[in-house]
């Protein structure tokens, strides 16, 4: 059965304030000009048409979405679109302490925070910035203002953070946090990505099981996407595993990605991008836009029938993970 395409990951900027070594956004030489970035009203127009075609969940990403100056306005406009049931956001958390309350007040439903280590020194080594404590305060603030469920995404980096798998798992015992262990995608040509080893999520799972004995399957997680969820005994949060490398989940993929230049990728692995911005700026009607978006969704269904082959490369720092 064809999966319903109901989820859009929307990258609002290609810029980021951190420089994670496997993503390297600050070393990009080809940042988009302001004029090449879709304006908020243009994005709202695309999302309106997509909502009419079945998209009901929106995830705002980047670059870093919290450096986008009108991010709170964006959240509230997206929330008002008919058919959009949920607006969530993926962030590195650096500005969360200051912004969590306003984001929630503007209608943000929930938040994912990318955090590869719980050790301040290591955080600086991975991201280039010494601000772990501030990110942690942002996480606490998000819980306080009710941005639930809160997910922490940890990329499994071989030889770098594998000794923290237990510490991350332990967080779920005391806190209402869903921790997700994610295998590194090799969608980028970057040497840093190609040279970084990734652990398999099954290895992370084995590490946790050998410490705690048992993990209990947990089906009831909001926005569970491609992750498999488990729980430790009497834990408040859950533990998820996303196996980009070791298991392909193309057949069940329900998502489109649009970058900040208005290019839609039906699939992270196909490398094919449709340019919606060009169409909008050529004076197209909503009906013209709808025709293109319908075509993209059909194209995605075709791709879902194939196996996942990485034939071209898309940068995570542009499409936002």
What does the binding site for ligand SAM look like in residue numbers (CB under 6 A)? 16, 22-23, 61-62, 64, 90-92, 114, 153, 155, 182, 184-185, 188, 193, 316-317, 320-321
Range 23-57 burial, b when 16+ CB lie within 10 A, else e: bbbeebeeebeeeebbebeebebbbbbbbeeebeb
- Residue closer to ligand SAM by CB (options 155, 250) is 155
Alpha helices in 186-269 (DSSP H): 191-195, 201-212
Please choose, from the candidates 71, 102, 77, 91, the residue with its C-alpha nearest in 3D space to the C-alpha of residue 150: 91
23 contacts: CB under 8 Å, gap ≥ 6: 16, 192, 193, 316, 317
Cβ 67 to ligand SAM, closest distance in Å? 9
* CA atoms within 13 Å, Cβ hemisphere of 80: 9
CB 240, CB 169: distance < 8 Å: no
Residue whose Cβ sits closest to ligand SAM: 321
Q: Which pair of structure tokens corresponds to residue 257?
A: 């990605």
The residue to which tokens 């990009």 are assigned: 28
* Residue 214: CB minimum distance to ligand SAM, A: 28
Residue 48 or 255: the one with the smaller Cβ distance to ligand SAM is 255
Given the complex with ligand SAM, which of 186 and 303 has the nearer CB atom?
186
Residue number, 24 or 238, with CB nearest to ligand SAM: 24
User: Which is nearer to ligand SAM, 104 or 153 (by Cβ)?
Assistant: 153
**Which CB sits closer to ligand SAM, 114 or 238?**
114
CB 139 within 8 A of CB 145: no
For the bound state, the minimum distance from the C-beta of residue 207 to ligand SAM, rounded and expressed in Å, comes to: 19
| Residue 201 CB, nearest approach to ligand SAM (Å) | 12
Q: Which is nearer to ligand SAM, 14 or 48 (CB)?
A: 14
Output the CA angle 195-199-201, nearest 5 degrees: 140
* In the complex, minimum distance from the CB of residue 62 to ligand SAM, in angstroms, rounded to a whole number: 5
Q: Is 89 helix (H, G, I), strand (E, B) or coil?
A: strand
Closest approach of ligand SAM to the CB of residue 191, in Å? 12
Shortest separation between residue 125's beta carbon and ligand SAM, angstroms: 15
Cα 99 to chain centroid distance, Å, stands at 18
Strand-pair category, 57-61 with 7-11: parallel
Secondary structure letter of residue 191 according to DSSP: H
- Minimum CB–partner distance for residue 286 and ligand SAM (Å): 29
Select 47 or 242, whichever has its Cβ closest to ligand SAM.
242
């Amino acid at each position: 059965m064809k999966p319903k395409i109901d989820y859009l990951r929307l990258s609002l900027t290609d810029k980021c304030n951190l420089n994670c070594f496997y993503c390297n956004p600050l070393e990009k030489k080809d940042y988009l000009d302001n004029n090449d970035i879709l304006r908020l009203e243009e994005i709202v127009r695309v999302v309106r048409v997509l909502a009419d075609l079945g998209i009901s969940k929106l995830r705002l990403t980047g670059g870093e979405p919290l450096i986008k100056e009108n991010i709170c306005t964006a959240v509230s406009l997206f929330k008002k679109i008919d058919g959009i049931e949920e607006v969530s956001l993926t962030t590195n958390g650096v500005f969360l302490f200051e912004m969590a309350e306003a984001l929630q007040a503007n209608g943000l439903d929930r938040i994912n925070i990318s955090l590869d280590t719980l050790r301040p020194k290591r955080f600086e080594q991975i991201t280039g910035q010494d601000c772990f404590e501030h990110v942690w305060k942002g996480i606490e603030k998000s819980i306080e203002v009710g941005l639930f469920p809160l997910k922490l995404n940890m990329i499994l980096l071989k030889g770098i953070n594998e000794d923290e798998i237990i510490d991350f798992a332990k967080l779920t015992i005391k806190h209402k946090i869903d921790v997700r262990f994610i295998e590194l995608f090799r969608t980028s040509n970057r040497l840093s990505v190609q040279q970084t080893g990734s652990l398999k999520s099954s290895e992370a799972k084995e590490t946790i099981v050998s410490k705690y004995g048992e993990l209990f399957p947990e089906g009831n997680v909001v926005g569970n996407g491609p992750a498999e969820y488990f729980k430790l005994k009497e834990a408040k949060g859950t533990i998820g595993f996303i196996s980009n490398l070791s298991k392909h989940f193309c057949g069940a993929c329900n998502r489109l990605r649009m970058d900040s230049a208005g290019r839609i990728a039906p699939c992270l692995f196909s490398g094919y991008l449709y340019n919606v911005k060009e169409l909008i700026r050529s004076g197209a009607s909503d009906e013209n836009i709808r025709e293109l978006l319908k075509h993209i969704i059909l194209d995605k269904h075709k791709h879902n029938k194939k196996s996942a082959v990485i034939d071209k490369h898309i940068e995570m720092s542009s499409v936002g993970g």
